[in-house]
Chain A
Amino acid sequence: MKSNVRIAVFVTLVLALVVGACSAPKAGESTEQTILTVMTHDSFAASEGVIAAFEDEYGVEVRFVRAGDTGAALNKAILSKGAPLADVFFGVDNNFLSRALEEDLFVAYHSPLLEEIPDAFELDREYRVLPVDYGDVCINYDKAYFDEQGLALPASLADLTQPEYAGLLVVQNPATSSPGLAFLMATIAEYGDPGYLDYWAALRENDVVVVSDWETAYYGNFSASSGQGPQPMVVSYGSSPPAEVIFAETALTEAPTASLVGKNMCYRQIEFVGILKGTEQQELAEKFVDFILGKTFQEDVPLQMFVFPVNENAVLPEEFTAYAQIPEQPAQLDSAEITARREAWITAWDEVVLR
């Protein structure tokens, strides 16, 4: 008798799995509603209410396809060129910009909202891609450590090679990490090519710690994060200090970290949005781009993605005005030069720093 019960249990379990597995693909079913598909990277985020507002206004459903990091997502767009997986692509950054334009992925659109965006962000003068947000890769430091040790803050990239900062900085490998690459480019902007290699040789002499990715650097090595590692300086983002406050476990009145914002110590990354060639809903896509550049979405950007809005009229949230610093002289490099030289820079860096 007992064995019959067991059979019953087994069969039920299997059936449950079958039914479950079959019912999962529901979203693949087509609905009557118009669908606008937006392809983007994993870091993309938005408030439910904000996207719902757009959906209600135009009677559409916005569907997001997130496809790995910035490079992976762009790759997906390049590979599906001709039969695009989406109508809009969100998240080409200035490092990949010229590569994306070379691939001829986008149709030009001159949005009326560009008037509210400073010209400095408009890197593509043909408006195939339009700026959406920007952020700075900066060195974050552990405030308590510098207080306790009575150590002065490094005021320039050159200072980081001084003996008092030996072994205190952790950076990411530019080959495997996007903030790592950004910091490498900041040093190239400051010292030029090949001058940057001498600088890195000096950093290496000064025991700079190199790890593969941001997660390891921030949570494994950085002393002010929850990982409580050994280095009080880490290459991270200018928006990390406010994030530390917002995602603190116990309410904080002061950020435990801050950024070093001296000349060329931060590298500016700008993100762009574009309408993919081959879309059948050009008009709707244009409306979505307008929406993305508009005040509502732009004000949602800081707390969702921890980047800054490009629209001048967007008001920053309190946490950002209080804890985020915006560097006055961030480093920037020409996008075409990046596409042409990136690999050579990284290879040379590898030989100097890792071998």
Chain B
Amino acid sequence: MTSSPAASLTDRRKRANRRTVLFLWAVPAAFLLVFFFSPLAAVFSTAAKTALSDGLGVDLWQRIWRPLRFTFFQAGLSTLLTLLLGLPAAYVFARFTFPGKKLLRVLATLPFILPTVVAAAGFNAFLGPRGLVNVALMRWLDLAAPPVAFMNTLTAILVAHVFYNVSVVIRVVGSAWAQMNTRQEQVARVLGASAWRTLWEVTLPLLKNAIFGAALLVFLFDFTSFGVILMLGGPKFATLEVEIYLQAMHMLNLPAAGLLSAIQLGVTLILTVASSRLHTQRDTKMMPLLHNEAVRRPQSRGEKWLVGGIALILILLLVLPTGSLALRSVTRLDAARGERGAVAAALTLDYYRELFTNRQGSLFYVPPIAAARNSLLYAGATVMISLVLGLLVTYALARRSRVNRVLEPLLMLPLGASAVTLGLGFILAFNRPPLQLLSSPVLVPIAHSLVALPFVVRTLQPALVSIPDSLRQAAASMGASPWQVWREVDFPIMTRAALVSAIFAFTISLGEFGATSFLSRPEYPTLPVAIFRFLSQPGALNYGQALAMSTLLMLVCGGSILLLEQLRLPGVGIEL
């Protein structure tokens, strides 16, 4: 076969391109293979072996159908609601400045890290049968029974999912929106399009990648929801994840748990592939905004209403439940017995003081500072692992290659894998040489990184894709080396996204409980683990200490995020 010089040139380029893509994928793919697929394979093969010898032992159709239907239903509805609030909020954060903006954004992130038990306590204190709202309404309207039934309803599940995930939309879509050039919008307006039409036909299509990315993340989070369903939804609701947990941990029926996990993973894979097909079309590239050129004070009355309204909703939904927890951690909870209803009013720091004393002389006492340090170390390691892997993957994905089409959907799978299944897999896979890691604390940040990686990639990807090639070509033609091109063009544009993804990785690690409780050594308890220890025993002091520890968790998290956001990298004047 004869080939023209031109054809062989493209051939060579193609091959070089493929080599680069494979090279970039090497480490992340190996990471997934060792720490995700091999444990899963171990679980599935063990489950299959047991199933072949003992059978499945349950009436499976019933175990699958009901939860599967409900899982889809609640996840779809929750995602819709989250977008409904998250998109306008992302717009407000991306385009306007208002007093308290920074603080509000940090506060909006805090729910993300709260253990469900604590969030449930927050909602209960607020909307429960004896919560603030009901007690006030009963007194005011002189009612005998609490008028608002919130706990153990579908509404509670939906509200909690929005509570947890709205910050995902705000951060993913918001960072893309802030960086999006306004020129096309201006052109549309000049050409006579109304503000609405511009939004629908110009802005939203330009943000499609970010919106789909955020929606998929939120959907998968809701899809594998566990704690919220159990604690806020109550016993009438069960998702696949709940069913997996029950089969694995209470019935000790590994085959059934394995089968349910496989179904959950299959659905995740289908969703991921479908969504990547939906937004394969390339972004329109324009000069990204780096210096908040489009951020301004709200001017018209409509804008003021919008900004004020969104801020108010976020405060009501996100800040009040978390804030009421913090308030209760400094409130005396031991109301005089017999004086029921008289809410204790005295303030106290006893619960915090008690955190620092090992009253029972317990071997497993956790000094709060140590728990905070462990949490921060795990979170720091997670940030580093997931950022390095995430950057490699993002650069690989930016190139056209068939390799990407195969590997990209696999990246999202850890979000659809149940924590229980993965935890069991870790035991099977890392309990013997060559990978005898089970007794090592490194498994914790590794497990966290598996969950954080999809977030990191989904945040970095839109930023990288938005860089016009013309910028790099211009730099190169003026004599910049490839390194200089990266340093001067890519780096400034990627920084914001990298910071956002670092915050994601950080918060995911800080709040994660399932895998941690499964893997962690008692010597290195994290803050959420310590909170659970308190909440599993009766007594006002335990309850108060759990709330105090939760408040510490929020402070540590909020403080760290503020610090991260303060980091302004040299040469880049990015205002987050």
Given contacts A17-B380, A354-B236, contact A249 B128 (CB under 8 A): no
* Overall SS of chain B's interface: loop
A249 to B535, alpha carbons, bound, how many Å? Answer: 15
A/B pair count, beta carbons within 8 Å: 223
* Contact with B539, one of A47, A148, A243, A303 (Cβ below 8 angstroms): A243
Q: Within 8 Å CB of B535, what residues of A?
A: 215, 219
**In the complex, residue of chain B having the shortest beta-carbon distance to the beta carbon of A180:** B235
Q: Within 8 Å CB of A27, what residues of B?
A: 441, 521, 523-524
Closest CB in chain A relative to B487 CB, distance in Å = 13
A249 touches B332 (CB 8 A): yes
B80 interface contact, C-beta 8 A: no
Interface residue stretch chosen among B6-14, B206-214, B312-320, B568-576: B568-576
A173 touches B235 (CB 8 A): yes
Interface residues on A, range: 35 or more
A31 interface contact, C-beta 8 A: no
A44 to B363, alpha carbons, bound, how many Å? Answer: 10
A17 touches B334 (CB 8 A): no
1/0 contact trace for A2-33 toward B, CB 8 Å?
01101101100110011011001101100000
Given contacts A21-B377, A80-B431, contact A212 B543 (CB under 8 A): no
B383 touches A17 (CB 8 A): yes
B361 touches A28 (CB 8 A): no
**In the complex, residue of chain A having the shortest beta-carbon distance to the beta carbon of B568:** A6
Given contacts A46-B362, A48-B362, A213-B231, contact A175 B249 (CB under 8 A): no
B121 interface contact, C-beta 8 A: yes
Given contacts A211-B235, A212-B234, A244-B539, contact A75 B569 (CB under 8 A): no
1/0 contact trace for B499-519 toward A, CB 8 Å?
000000000000000000110
Q: Within 8 Å CB of B230, what residues of A?
A: 176, 212-213
B338 touches A72 (CB 8 A): no
Please give the number of chain B residues whose Cβ is less than 8 angstroms from any Cβ of chain A in the complex: 85
B432 interface contact, C-beta 8 A: yes
Interface residue stretch chosen among A125-133, A227-235, A264-272, A282-290: A227-235
* Contact with A220, one of B128, B438, B522 (Cβ below 8 angstroms): B128
Closest CB in chain A relative to B499 CB, distance in Å = 11
Segment 360-382 of B: residues with Cβ below 8 Å from A: 360-365, 373-374, 376-377, 380-381
A43 touches B536 (CB 8 A): yes
**In the complex, residue of chain B having the shortest beta-carbon distance to the beta carbon of A230:** B129
A69 touches B380 (CB 8 A): no
B58 touches A68 (CB 8 A): no
Interface residue stretch chosen among A59-67, A104-112, A155-163, A188-196: A59-67
1/0 contact trace for A304-322 toward B, CB 8 Å?
1010000000000000000
**In the complex, residue of chain B having the shortest beta-carbon distance to the beta carbon of A167:** B145
A79 touches B428 (CB 8 A): yes
**In the complex, residue of chain A having the shortest beta-carbon distance to the beta carbon of B247:** A343
Given contacts A176-B230, A343-B251, contact A249 B334 (CB under 8 A): yes
**In the complex, residue of chain B having the shortest beta-carbon distance to the beta carbon of A20:** B377
Closest CB in chain A relative to B538 CB, distance in Å = 4
* Contact with B380, one of A21, A175, A246, A304 (Cβ below 8 angstroms): A21
Given contacts A76-B427, A85-B438, contact A212 B539 (CB under 8 A): no
**In the complex, residue of chain A having the shortest beta-carbon distance to the beta carbon of B57:** A343
A49 interface contact, C-beta 8 A: yes
A230 touches B146 (CB 8 A): yes
25 A-B pairs (CB sep. < 8 Å): A7-B570, A17-B377, A20-B373, A20-B377, A24-B441, A27-B521, A45-B360, A45-B362, A46-B362, A47-B362, A48-B365, A71-B249, A79-B428, A85-B431, A147-B338, A175-B235, A176-B242, A211-B235, A212-B234, A227-B543, A229-B124, A229-B128, A244-B540, A247-B539, A343-B251
Q: With A4-B570, A176-B246 given, can you name 12 additional A-B contacts, CB distance below 8 Å? A: A3-B570, A9-B567, A20-B373, A27-B441, A51-B363, A65-B521, A76-B427, A143-B337, A213-B231, A216-B120, A230-B129, A250-B332
Measuring CB to CB, which residues of chain A are less than 8 angstroms from any residue of chain B? 3-4, 6-7, 9-10, 13-14, 17-18, 20-21, 24-25, 27-28, 42-49, 51, 64-69, 71-72, 74-76, 78-80, 83, 85, 96, 99, 143-145, 147-148, 173, 175-176, 181, 210-216, 218-221, 223-230, 236-237, 240, 243-244, 246-250, 256, 303-304, 306, 342-343, 354
Measuring CB to CB, which residues of chain B are less than 8 angstroms from any residue of chain A? 46, 57-58, 117, 120-121, 124, 128-130, 146, 151-152, 230-231, 233-236, 242, 246, 248-253, 332-335, 337-338, 340, 348, 350-351, 360-365, 373-374, 376-377, 380-381, 383-384, 424, 427-428, 431-432, 438-442, 445, 517-518, 521-524, 532-533, 535-544, 567-571
